[in-house]
Amino acid sequence: MRYLFDHWDKVSSKIKKSPRIFLFFDYDGTLTPIVSTPEKAKLPSKVKKSIKRLIKSPKFRVAIISGRSLRDVKRMVGLKGIIYAGNHGLEIAKPRKALKNSPLKTICIALKSGLGHIKGIRVENKGCTLSVHFRLVRPKHRILVKKIFYRTLRPYICSKSAKVSSGKMVLEVRPAIDWHKGKAVLHIIKKKKTLPIYLGDDVTDIDAFRAIKGKGISIFVGGPKKNIKADYYLKDTFDVKKFIERLLLL
């Protein structure tokens, strides 16, 4: 994985030659720094203004694909003229019909019952997916959180009625359907003469990196990691801000 700004001439040349650019951003950890609780992850005003300027250009289209619910990510960003996808792409404008029989409500009740005694835990039902945030849990109790989580989910995993994943201090439950951020990206892109550029900071973004391999530019936010296969990396959200500002100069 190469540092993007060390290869800016090559990257910018590719962007300039493409008639249409589709920019995909994850939200938490990409456009805004990771914070102690999700509601504190405010989009910096300068980043918001820069994205607003990008939207006005006929060359760029912008989409934000987040693990948050669709309603939540739209509220946090608050910009018109871009595509929003919530719950890792399960919600694009409206929830997918395949989610009607999801057991998430039952799972949510069970997890709140099993984890409720642990200080700092937060169980968030996002409609299409469910997240267990344990960033505020004492380190010595985090193993217990995971133990209770997987014990609770075991029957659902075995019956293939739900699947689980993990991220930065979060455990997630999703419907057992073949859908992820990568498929959401390909679903959103319709024109063949479009260069997709995807920026993300977590393992949930790997599917999107794979989806655009050989078709676009994948950028991991957070420094080089051996288990993350992206074309380039940016160090942090400040680098992302700088990247957007450079796009405006092309």
CATH number at residue 84: 3.40.50.1000
Q: Verify that 122 and 234 share a domain, yes or no.
A: no
What stretch of H or E contains 162? Answer: strand 162-167
Q: What is the pLDDT of residue 20?
A: 93
Q: Rounded mean pLDDT of 11-32?
A: 95
- Among 122, 144, 175, the domain boundary falls at 175
Q: Rounded mean pLDDT of 22-37?
A: 92
User: Domain for residue 102, yes or no?
Assistant: no
Q: Verify that 85 and 188 share a domain, yes or no.
A: yes
Which amino acid belongs to residue 172? E
> What contacts 101, CB < 8 A, 6 or more positions away?
none
> What contacts 48, CB < 8 A, 6 or more positions away?
77, 78, 79
The pLDDT of residue 191 is above 70: no
Q: Verify that 166 and 235 share a domain, yes or no.
A: no
Q: What is the pLDDT of residue 65?
A: 95
Reported as a pLDDT band with limits 50, 70 and 90, residue 200 is: very high
Q: Verify that 33 and 81 share a domain, yes or no.
A: yes
What pTM, to 2 d.p., does this model score? Answer: 0.77
Q: Verify that 84 and 19 share a domain, yes or no.
A: yes
Query: From the CA atom positions of the chain, what is the Rg in Å?
Result: 18
User: Domain for residue 86, yes or no?
Assistant: yes
For residue range 133-181, list pLDDT tens digits in order: 999 999 999 999 999 999 999 999 999 889 999 988 999 998 888 788 9
Q: What is the pLDDT of residue 40?
A: 86
User: Domain for residue 27, yes or no?
Assistant: yes
End-to-end CA distance of the chain: 24
Asked whether the beta carbons of 167 and 88 are under 8 A apart, the reply is: no
For residue range 88-147, list pLDDT tens digits in order: 888 886 545 445 567 888 999 999 999 999 999 999 998 889 999 999 999 999 999 999
- The angle subtended at Cα 88 by Cα 161 and Cα 5, nearest 5°, is 145
User: What domain range includes position 120?
Assistant: 108-175
Q: Verify that 116 and 84 share a domain, yes or no.
A: no
DSSP calls for 134-157: -TTS-GGGHHHHHHHHHHHHHHHH
Q: Rounded mean pLDDT of 216-222?
A: 97
Q: What is the pLDDT of residue 95?
A: 47
Which residues are catalytically annotated?
Answer: 26
More reliable by pLDDT, 175 or 44: 44
Q: Verify that 164 and 214 share a domain, yes or no.
A: no
Closest CA to 170 of 138, 124, 225: 124
Q: Verify that 10 and 64 share a domain, yes or no.
A: yes
Q: How many whole angstroms separate alpha carbon 89 and alpha carbon 133?
A: 20
Domain count, the chain: 2
What would the two tokens of residue 28 be? 């938490």
Q: Verify that 85 and 196 share a domain, yes or no.
A: yes
